[in-house]
Structure 1
């Protein structure tokens, strides 16, 4: 009798910052796979609000709480990576990538990558559709609201956890080039 295959999925993203939508995908991924790796990507050419190390620590703290609340589900590791997602996933022996879909434009964008990843790397992509409350949440929108808004807690409470709001507020108080650039642009809207 052959041993059942261990299904490890990688959920890649910038998580800059981590949102309730990201946490929803992680929670649902724990029900679909034997193990889940949350892959916090670092793109050297892209300016981030939080360092890769800070993003990894934020996600780890939130995942730790999630795992403690539901210990019987799949284990979750949080790791930083740079380079191609498929290379990182293959290095871990992943059987799939996990992606969240908020709307049709997300689906269109993600399907292109899913087909390429399957053909080039032999890696399948599993999609989970976001709950209605996360359909318009994005890290980009959170940063725009933070740059423009005064009451961050009220403006962001439906989009990200209190610990993340506090970290964003600290960046805003200290002044940060990402928030300053968004504030000088003076508009809110867009997707990540």
Structure 2
């Protein structure tokens, strides 16, 4: 479905929520749940980021995100992988909105700059920011991976299924320390 596709004669509002989701956290799921209420269709764009060192392959991340979305039972969400400029991907999906989550002031500064650059690339696509739930604000995929690699418990930051996925991967990679 593209932006000009209709649902009972009206134009659908399509949003894209991009990220690496390595791994998907409770914070990501909160933004997905809330973002899905704002659009007719929310596309979770699972991407690669050359500046990040992923724990999971793109295919594994997409499968995990799909599983988590199915568990939540949100019908208007789909998962699509991409490896391109976000605005080109959003345009191909027929999106009119980019959804981004914010945790702290540092996130805002980065996201504000990114939104400005994206607007220069395509001023027809708006960026909306959703503040993370207060209890989820400290959660970051990078920190979840570090905690797991050092043998810490990540149960408060990810779903039980994702926790098991991360533990399995850490067992394959080997823990970094005992303390």
Does the alignment reach a TM-score above 0.5?
A: yes
Instruction: State the shift of 1:113 in Å.
Output: 1.0
1:119 positional shift = 2.4
1:88 aligns with: 89
**1:148 corresponds to which residue?**
150
* Structure 1 residue runs of 4 or more that deviate by more than 3 Å after TM superposition: 43-46
Is the counterpart of residue 40 in structure 1 residue 38 in structure 2?
A: no
1:63 pairs with one of 48, 64, 69: 69
User: Partners of 1:113 and 1:5 in 2: how far apart?
Assistant: 27
- Unpaired stretches in structure 1, ≥5 consecutive residues: 188-192
Deviations 1:133-184 (A, max 9, x none): 11100000001101112xx5xx2111000111111111111126xxx6xx37
- The CA deviation at 1:47 is 2.7
* Whole-Å separation in 2 of the counterparts to 1:45 and 1:104: 21
2-structure distance, mates of 1:35, 1:16: 23
CA distance in 1, matches of 2:118, 2:126: 7
Kindly provide the CA deviation profile for residues 97-150 of structure 1, in whole angstroms up to 9, marking residues without a partner as x: 00000111111110111122122212210111001111100000001101112x
Which stretch shows the higher mean deviation, 138-147 or 40-49? 40-49
TM-aligned CA deviation for residue 46 of structure 1: 4.1
- Higher helix proportion (structure 1 or 2): 1
TM-score, scaled to structure 1: 0.82
Match of 1:134 in 2: 136
Q: What is the TM-score of this pair, normalised by structure 2?
A: 0.88
The residue aligned with 1:29 is 35
2: CA distance between counterparts of 1:144 and 1:65?
Answer: 26
Paired residues in the alignment total: 170
Give the alignment's Cα RMSD to 1 decimal: 2.0
1:41-77 per-residue CA deviation (whole Å, 9 max, x = no partner) reads 023564310010000000001101212xx55xxx111
In structure 1, the partner of 2:164 is 166
Kindly indicate whether the alpha-carbon contact (under 8 Å) linking 2:87 and 2:121 is maintained by their aligned counterparts in 1. no
2:103 maps to 1:102: yes
Where structure 2 has 5 or more consecutive residues not aligned to the other structure, the ranges are 1-8
